[in-house]
Structure 1
Amino acid sequence: MPLQRAPIGDYSHSPQARGGRFHNLTPRPAQMPEPNAKVLWDVLFNKPKNTVPHAPVPVRALSRTELDYAPDRSLYRLGHSTLLLKLRGGWWLTDPVFSERASPLSFAGPRRFHAPPIALEDLPPIRGVILSHDHYDHLDRATIQVLTERAEVFITPLGVGDRLIDWGVPADKVKQLDWWQNIQVDGLCLTATPAQHFSGRGLRDGNRTLWCSWVIEDERLRIFFSGDTGYFDGFAEIGRRFGSFDLTLMETGAYNEHWPYVHMHPQETVQAHQDLNGRWLLPIHNGTFDLAMHAWYEPFERVLQLAGERGIAVTTPMMGERIDIDSPHWGEHWWRAVVAEEVRAATPRGACRSVRES
């Protein structure tokens, strides 16, 4: 697929825009390590073996019938940062990526660990698509093109909607928001809130579109969707403005010591949840694509340990498993069975394995 540069509108009126580019609230600290050629080389060619699972990742298959009968305020994790939520009788998708790879190329780039729990074509009609930014693991052109006829509205940060329109989404379906702006849909209130990240889909279009997190309100129910972000003071400000959150959907994965400015480490995820006055935490941005140097299962283990030390409730549903947003359950530690199977497969026949008594 050729890298095409979509026409992006003039957003110089935005407080976040300067010189034709968008900017974070806090500049990158001068002392913070910056990714260099060696880091890129290691990410591409020198990865540890445990950054991808070597046994099947369990997925609970979903059917259209099950979704048709799902109660309101149901949530299903479909992979990475793609979530399916039923709110006020309508279905909503966040950052939908159904393609095999999170890449501009169909034959190269990060490949899925697992198939989506349901095929894109089998989804019920989608009331709305919520997008956080335009990176390939969050904005998938092939998925959007299928959703063009199946979704009623696409809600995006500034500039991202221009890409959708360029891809054929009718302009009247696209709603673009700046930070702190909101939109009402069927009684839901969706507010674009700040994030600390960056954008771009090619070599020359960096930060021409905005990135954001989202607050979703259904009467007294509040949900926070982080998108991609580093840890910053904005979480505390969002917490002050909205009071508290019943569920936070928080980035926990694809972190590295060289990019803490734009991706949170697990301890920062937990702190951000506390800054937001969150009740339940659901870690996302993990378990589907190989995007960093850490073990694929590490984000789950680390966030559980850190949250447990602070008495924070964490839900870790299997892909395709239903969560009741009003009353989440803890979820199983499903990744541990995969890791155990990897260990069994890697142990030579006849060799002794240490066994820890429970």
Structure 2
Amino acid sequence: MIWFLLAVFALSAIGIAIFLNSPSFGKLPSGARLERIKQSPNYRDGKFQNQEPTTLLTNGKSRMQSLWEFFFLKVNDLVPSQDVSAVKTDLKALSLNEDLIVWMGHSSLYIQLGGKRILVDPVLVSASPVSFINKPFRGTSIYRPDDMPPVDILLITHDHWDHLDYATVLALKNNIGQIVCPLGVGEHFAYWGFSPEIIHELDWYESANLTEEILLTSVPARHFSGRGLTSNQTLWTGYMLQHSAGNILLSGDTGYGKHIKAIKEKFGTIDFAILENGQYNEDWRYIHMVPDDLIQAINELGPRRLMTVHHSKYALARHAWNEPMEKIASAAENLGFPLVTPKIGDVVRLRDTVQTFRPWWN
């Protein structure tokens, strides 16, 4: 019996090791890429650091207690009882003469600016290393890699599975012009066979001018990274896209912090903000904005228009699936800030400042 148990344990360990070394987990930075990372002011003590002290868990709970509550705490309406309202706009048929945004659920975005197509954090196949975890809500998985037109710029905020989908980027491999990502994330793309010439890695406040009309700058976020057992070997980021259509802020995954005011001070006017909203919990409020922190961030940024993402497709936190939209819509009505609320697939026209959308999450 002892030998049988040892054999089972050994086989299980081998199986886990093989799984964790499968291509979808990517590769940790090494060589010249690692040497560049070590020169970053945001890399200290062998890993990337946030701009202010940040613990993953708050409220003094142990990781085991938090995991137990995450998996077994009952939450009403965690998953919608019917299909989430969505519309499938034909992205290939959109005129490149128009500057626009199409939200594809969670944090995946299709953006057209200055005749260029930009794809942000496209998770169109799987948000986890195995298909039975993080399954999308019914009605939300309407876009697939085959629906994407040629992509001029693939924009990645960090390497978590719900933002960097191996199956999606592999399917789009021959359809991508340039890749912009945080420091270290380029190692994944190089490992997956993408040409080094098209990979552009940015540290916070570094810029890339990949087109004549768009200046793209990495901005700080308060989060963490990692696809396997090792964390924070790659950077996490937000982006500012500067174009004649205005300054467009992508917050990326982030908790509230001093970087919010710093972004406003550096760039001044923010014409359109796309902010994280959802998959929050008081237990990890430093790395995801809870509703009150989101309102504070909006007040400090003062965007002329804003929409929120990171909600309504996956249950990655213990709140009702539509709570993020309920809370932000209520706050916008009470406080008067300029929220636009597209459903998955709606076209948001960046130069149409009076465009409105009906509630779809009730």
TM-score where L is the length of structure 2: 0.87
1:306 partner SS: helix
Counting only pairs closer than 5 Å after superposition, residues 186-225 of structure 1 correspond to structure 2 as 186=211, 187-203=213-229, 205-219=230-244, 221-225=246-250
2:324 partner SS: helix
Alignment partners' CA distance in 1, 2:173 and 2:357: 33
Alignment partners' CA distance in 2, 1:229 and 1:98: 22
**For residue 62 of structure 1, what is the aligned residue in structure 2?**
89
Alignment partners' CA distance in 2, 1:44 and 1:242: 41
Alignment partners' CA distance in 2, 1:117 and 1:207: 32
**For residue 19 of structure 2, what is the aligned residue in structure 1?**
2
Q: Is contact 2:124-2:143 (8 Å) kept?
A: no
Partner deviation per Cα, 1:280-339 (whole Å, 9 max, x = no partner): 110100011111110000000111122222210111101101011122523111011xxx
Alignment partner of 1:273 is 2:290: no
Bigger Cα displacement from structure 2, 192-201 vs 48-57: 48-57
Q: Is contact 2:245-2:351 (8 Å) kept?
A: no
**For residue 293 of structure 1, what is the aligned residue in structure 2?**
318
Unpaired runs of 5+ residues, structure 1, are 337-358
Alignment partner of 1:16 is 2:42: yes
1:334 partner SS: coil
Alignment partners' CA distance in 2, 1:334 and 1:121: 26
Counting only pairs closer than 5 Å after superposition, residues 1-358 of structure 1 correspond to structure 2 as 2-4=19-21, 6-8=27-29, 9-10=33-34, 11-28=37-54, 32-33=58-59, 36-67=63-94, 69=95, 71-99=97-125, 101-106=126-131, 108-113=132-137, 114-186=139-211, 187-203=213-229, 205-219=230-244, 221-328=246-353, 329-336=355-362
Alignment partners' CA distance in 2, 1:34 and 1:82: 33
2:330 partner SS: helix
How much does 1:34 deviate?
Answer: 5.1
Which residue identity lines up with residue 111 of structure 1 in the other structure? Answer: K
In structure 2, the CA distance between the partners of 1:81 and 1:29, relative to structure 1 (3 Å rule), is: closer
1:281 partner SS: strand
Unpaired runs of 5+ residues, structure 2, are 1-17
Task: Say what the alpha-carbon RMSD is for the aligned residues.
Answer: 1.8
In structure 2, the CA distance between the partners of 1:116 and 1:29, relative to structure 1 (3 Å rule), is: closer
Which residue identity lines up with residue 335 of structure 1 in the other structure? Answer: W
In structure 2, the CA distance between the partners of 1:152 and 1:195, relative to structure 1 (3 Å rule), is: same
Q: Is contact 1:239-1:275 (8 Å) kept?
A: yes
Task: Determine which structure has the larger helix proportion and give its number.
Answer: 2
In structure 2, the CA distance between the partners of 1:320 and 1:29, relative to structure 1 (3 Å rule), is: closer
Which residue identity lines up with residue 110 of structure 1 in the other structure? Answer: N
In structure 2, the CA distance between the partners of 1:123 and 1:83, relative to structure 1 (3 Å rule), is: same
How much does 1:71 deviate?
Answer: 4.1
Identical-residue share of aligned pairs (%): 33
Which residue identity lines up with residue 20 of structure 2 in the other structure? Answer: L
Which residue identity lines up with residue 136 of structure 2 in the other structure? Answer: R
Q: Is contact 2:111-2:119 (8 Å) kept?
A: yes
The aligned length equals 332
How much does 1:64 deviate?
Answer: 4.7
Q: Is contact 2:275-2:309 (8 Å) kept?
A: yes
Bigger Cα displacement from structure 2, 29-38 vs 299-308: 29-38
Alignment partners' CA distance in 1, 2:157 and 2:286: 17
How much does 1:274 deviate?
Answer: 2.4
Which residue identity lines up with residue 173 of structure 1 in the other structure? Answer: I
How much does 1:147 deviate?
Answer: 1.8
